[in-house]
Amino acid sequence: MKRLDYPFNEEKVRELKVGDMVIISGKLFTGRDAIHKYLHDGNPSPVDLKNQIIYHCGPVVLEEKDGYRVVAAGPTTSIREEPYQWEVMRDHGIVGVIGKGGMGPKTLKGCQEYGCVYFHAIGGAAQVLAEKIKSVDNVYLKEKFGSPEAIWELTVDEFPCVVTMDSHGNSLHEKVEGESSEILKTLI
């Protein structure tokens, strides 16, 4: 198990390889479809995303008298961000993306060029992953996009994930798809 502790940077991220199991402690910023399109369209980010990690997640957040509490925070399907992700990497300097299901060739190339990795989080474990969130530090663009599509600034402790796309051009998703296609050919 490898550790990735805040503050993050490209040098630390480039050391990670496909297959590495990683626990992340520090800041994460959520971002789904609306945020990615918003940033892709050239709108300014309300928060500096340089050397940050974006989590493809629309958390279930309860507002309490002393702030917010996340009760569910499972990953959302990442491929929807494929048209935008590499440019968000380039334009905002992010070093990590967490989601589920993998991403495509544009994102893989972006990971190589901009020193980023794609982490796969456990789908179906939203409540367990929420337990790794120690605080909600801020929320951005909630009024504009609504709670699930807002940027939530979270502090996490030992958030578990696996590197499935690295900055060296390796993609576990691409490998599994290729091997599965070869097996399928023998079965047909």
Give the distance, in angstroms, between the CA of residue 150 and the centroid of all CA atoms in the same chain.
14
| 127, amino acid identity | Q
Cα separation of 141 and 144, whole Å? Answer: 5
User: Does the annotation count 168 as an active-site position?
Assistant: no
Give the alpha-carbon dihedral of 167, 168, 172, 176, to 10 degrees: 140
Catalytic residue among 36, 56, 92, 173: 36
| 44, amino acid identity | P
Integer CA distances (angstroms), 119 to 115, 137, 161, 178, in order:
13, 22, 6, 20
- Residues labelled as active-site residues: 36
